[in-house]
Chain A
């Protein structure tokens, strides 16, 4: 008797951040034979940015501001090709995102579409929060007072799994553990137990590989002539095909550009990690130090070797967002023969005026010559090469609690060089509102797991 075919689930990586390119995600839904597509809309500090825009502007939406565009493009395609959507685009208000998505679905004629919201990550008003200690500063959260505008825990996967089991076509969460959106469909489809740590580790690792979408399939990779690929402009996003036998194959569409190979897989494996034997996630602690990748076809790589899991951590990371002073940045450019000399003089003039005349603490300033020491600091290029530079940018940055000082750094430090600085400078940067911004800073604390899990939940609505 022939063996039963192994059940396989195909998941697409639909986006790495809120504003990521949508075109390849639509391509994946159309041509990827997907079961699921997942969208990561939340960088570490994204929710705090959303929270701040909501406090500034009553019209700002409390969820991913690209949700509207994404849903209008993806929902009809997903319905046509029978693909479920999972995302954290609920941001600071998954219920609001769910309601809006259901409205859009109804407008598009997709009545009956089931949209779930997963909530419980918001701990801003939890009474225990104020006593927790911030890792970086050693201070208690309560000391932040009104500056604290958001606090969201990296939450476990379980409510997403439950929503899928209830028949959700779309699941919208807020802050969940990295990769949880990818782990959830695997737990649901294969019935993985909550304490099957090796299975969960595998699912989280699949998520880790896909959560930055194009970064597995040619994005953030090209470096000609060493790392080349066809048609980077039209790169495809990646797909993971996971078998019930726990086989994992990464691939991409063969009709588009980019590349998915062992090299892209290793780069993404180590991206945003430290110890490969101790990758701490809300759902499991992953040991991927024994993983291997084998190319099994064009743009097709199988993940082999060992992936081990250890029990989930007793405490969950909580991302804090706080309003913390001002940051100004402004750049002007010097060009032609001798550009470096005029730019260096301008840097000295900026420093002296801002420190000696305005009274800004020198430690708050960061003055760089773009093309020389902008990215990596001084001492990187020879004087001979510096002499030949055809364009040099003077960039003045200042981080301060004083709005007046932040503005002075941009205006007197950079823009005013066109009047009272060296010759041959660019002029035209005068957009003050773009020059100074509030610092919405990120820090983190650890909260007991049970405290967060108790307030997690989900609900389903039909379009």
Chain B
């Protein structure tokens, strides 16, 4: 069965210069192994596509049921330079929560 991450996870995105970070946090700690297995840096990289010009690195916090993704060169030069509607990339959380995974 395919489910959106939003159905069992939540997320927040932040920025520093031209880099962004997006978290994925499970509501129920029992679901953590699932996201640890399914939401890899490679999957996130593919889901974000051309939005990320640099690298995607994943950090894990199992006791919080959370993953943190660092996306470098992902804000068209950073908010001060960006031509995008969302120069801070704060809506990236919604994009990641729109990822569908097979569970």
Is A78 located at the chain interface by the 8 A CB criterion?
A: no
Closest Cβ of chain B: how far from A374's Cβ, in Å? 5
One digit per residue, 1 when the CB lies within 8 angstroms of any chain A CB and 0 when it does not, for chain B 63-92 equals 111101010000011111101111000110
Residues of A within 8 A of B14 (CB): 270-273
Q: Are A377 and B17 in contact (CB under 8 A)?
A: no
Q: Which residue of B lies closest to A212 (CB)?
A: B14
| Cross-interface CB contact of A263 among B10, B15, B91, cutoff 8 Å | B10
Is B44 located at the chain interface by the 8 A CB criterion?
A: no
A226-B83 CB under 8 A given contacts A274-B70, A377-B51, A379-B49: no
Q: Are A327 and B70 in contact (CB under 8 A)?
A: no
Q: Are B61 and A44 in contact (CB under 8 A)?
A: no
Point out residues on B near A: beta carbons under 8 Å. 6-7, 10-12, 14-19, 21, 23, 25, 27, 49-51, 57, 59, 61, 63-66, 68, 70, 76-81, 83-86, 90-91, 95, 97
Residues of B within 8 A of A440 (CB): 80
| Cross-interface CB contact of A273 among B21, B86, B97, cutoff 8 Å | B21
Can you report 13 A-B residue pairs in the complex whose CB atoms are below 8 A from each other?
A220-B12, A223-B6, A266-B64, A270-B14, A271-B12, A271-B23, A273-B68, A274-B21, A274-B59, A289-B61, A329-B83, A368-B85, A376-B95
- CA gap between A274 and B55 in the complex, in Å: 12
| Cross-interface CB contact of A270 among B21, B51, B57, cutoff 8 Å | B21
- CA gap between A368 and B19 in the complex, in Å: 22
Q: Are B68 and A272 in contact (CB under 8 A)?
A: no
Label chain B's interface by main secondary structure. Answer: mixed
- CA gap between A158 and B49 in the complex, in Å: 44
Closest Cβ of chain B: how far from A316's Cβ, in Å? 15
One digit per residue, 1 when the CB lies within 8 angstroms of any chain B CB and 0 when it does not, for chain A 211-252 equals 000000000110100110000000000000000000000000
Q: Are B12 and A275 in contact (CB under 8 A)?
A: no
One digit per residue, 1 when the CB lies within 8 angstroms of any chain B CB and 0 when it does not, for chain A 246-282 equals 0000000000000000010011111111111100000
Point out residues on A near B: beta carbons under 8 Å. 44-45, 48, 136, 220-221, 223, 226-227, 263, 266-277, 289-293, 305, 324, 327, 329, 366, 368, 370, 374-377, 379, 395, 397-399, 439-444
Q: Are B80 and A45 in contact (CB under 8 A)?
A: yes
- CA gap between A220 and B92 in the complex, in Å: 13
A375-B63 CB under 8 A given contacts A267-B11, A267-B23: no
